[in-house]
Amino acid sequence: MVAMVIMASFFLTHLDESPITGRTRLLVFSRENYMELAAVTGDGYMEEFAELMVPEKDPRHQVVERVVEHLAQRNKDIPEVSSVPWTVHLVDSPSVNAFVLPNGKVFMFTGMLEAVADVHQLTFILGHEMAHAVMGHSAEQASMSHVVDFLSLILLTAIWAVCPRDSLAVLGQWIQTKLIQFLFDRPYSRKLEAEADQVGLQLAAKACADVRAGPVFWQQMEISNQLRGEPTVPEWLSTHPSHRNRVTQLDRLVPQYLELRESCSCPALPATDPRAVFTQSVKVLLNATRDLEGEAGKRLKPLALSQTPTSDHRRAPHPGGLATALLASSASPTAQATALTLDTATHL
């Protein structure tokens, strides 16, 4: 009974309200403690990526830096944004990844920069990563893991007290680890990712980006993964929502944040919706690919008839037109840094 009272008191005294969304959460670690940890972590990443850092004078670095500065400037009314010195580090790596530490250190890989089609998608991605830092998601997740581990230890101790056998303890710990992983850690991580998508869209809207580009980015990623033959991981096994679910959530939020964007005195957007353009482009490319396959089949048919039955018939390779065209539709900022830099000034 006493233990339950102590635990209840602990939970109640460590409840916190997350910025922007106002969601109630458990926060064991203070912001100051996590800032100290972020500084150490940042130094470690700087050392790890030292030989891969893209120079600050590189146009690609300047594009990312300008977008981050614009996001910070347009969202300076949020204390968690204005109180952080945002710094950009571009890593020359094909990894499609980016992350932001709680102390404002932005790490983006050139692979991610090449995956976005325009400055609007880049703004959304950076807004998403900045949202993680602004919302204190890393501290929140570490706090919850700390509490769950503590409760797990109590449970394992109780099992050991009832049945003190090493084999049972090992089995119980393995089962408990898997249950925590799939029933708590990964679902909670997906929840935070979805929240970062929402807050990132809000930050991007206030920065005058076209928020309709957010769902298009995840559609591109889904098709890109399919074309590269990457295995599809069930969502319940992943720390992130599926691309399709992210598209659905963002599509639902777009009208709300288009209104927010308009209220921020942003320039009017083109009437053409990039989501409709992308969908139509995919249909056109798929039809073109089917036509190519049909023509290839007609050309191969006479050749196949002339072969003897013992010949080794192999299927013609799949035309690369669809993959090339779709992946090319994600215009590479590496090749178009000048255009992106110009867009930053005109569209945002």
Q: What is the pLDDT along the chain (348 residues), one digit of tens a residue?
A: 665 676 677 667 778 889 999 999 988 887 788 899 999 999 999 999 999 999 999 999 999 999 999 999 999 999 999 999 999 999 999 999 999 999 999 999 999 999 999 999 999 999 999 999 999 999 899 888 888 877 777 777 777 677 777 666 677 677 777 777 777 889 999 999 999 999 999 999 999 999 999 999 999 999 998 888 888 888 988 999 999 999 999 999 999 999 999 999 999 999 999 999 999 999 998 888 787 777 766 666 665 555 544 434 333 333 333 333 333 344 444 444 444 543 444 446
CA angle, 78 then 16 then 242, to 5°: 75
- Show Cβ contacts of residue 293 under 8 Å, excluding neighbours closer than 6 positions: 318, 319
Q: What pLDDT score was predicted for residue 231?
A: 83
Q: Let me know if 36 is a catalytic residue.
A: no
Q: What pLDDT score was predicted for residue 73?
A: 98
Q: What pLDDT score was predicted for residue 311?
A: 38
Q: Does residue 17 lie in a domain region? A: no
Number of compact structural domains in the chain: 1
Catalytic, out of 80, 129, 140, 193? 129
How far apart, in whole angstroms, are the C-alpha atoms of residue 315 and residue 118?
Answer: 38
Q: Does residue 338 lie in a domain region? A: yes
Q: Does residue 15 lie in a domain region? A: no
Which phi and psi angles does 15 have, rounded to 5°?
Answer: -80, 145
Q: Which domain holds residue 101?
A: 34-275+326-347
Question: Which tokens go with 315?
Answer: 């299927």
Place of tokens 């900022």: 333
* CA–centroid distance for 124 within its chain: 10
Q: Reading across the β-sheet that carries 87-91, which strands appear in turn? A: 87-91, 105-109, 98-100
Q: Does residue 104 lie in a domain region? A: yes
Q: Does residue 38 lie in a domain region? A: yes
- Show Cβ contacts of residue 194 under 8 Å, excluding neighbours closer than 6 positions: 241, 246, 249
Q: What pLDDT score was predicted for residue 293?
A: 73
Strands (E), 67-172: 87-91, 98-100, 105-109
How far apart, in whole angstroms, are the C-alpha atoms of residue 50 and residue 106?
Answer: 15
Q: Does residue 231 lie in a domain region? A: yes
Coil, strand or helix at 16: strand
CB atoms within 10 A of CB 45: 15
HSE-up of 329 (CA within 13 Å, CB side)? 21
Q: Using CA of residue 278, residue 333, residue 195, residue 348, what is the dihedral sign?
A: negative
Q: Does residue 1 lie in a domain region? A: no
Closest to 203 measured CA to CA, from 84, 109, 114: 84
Q: Does residue 189 lie in a domain region? A: yes
- Show Cβ contacts of residue 161 under 8 Å, excluding neighbours closer than 6 positions: none
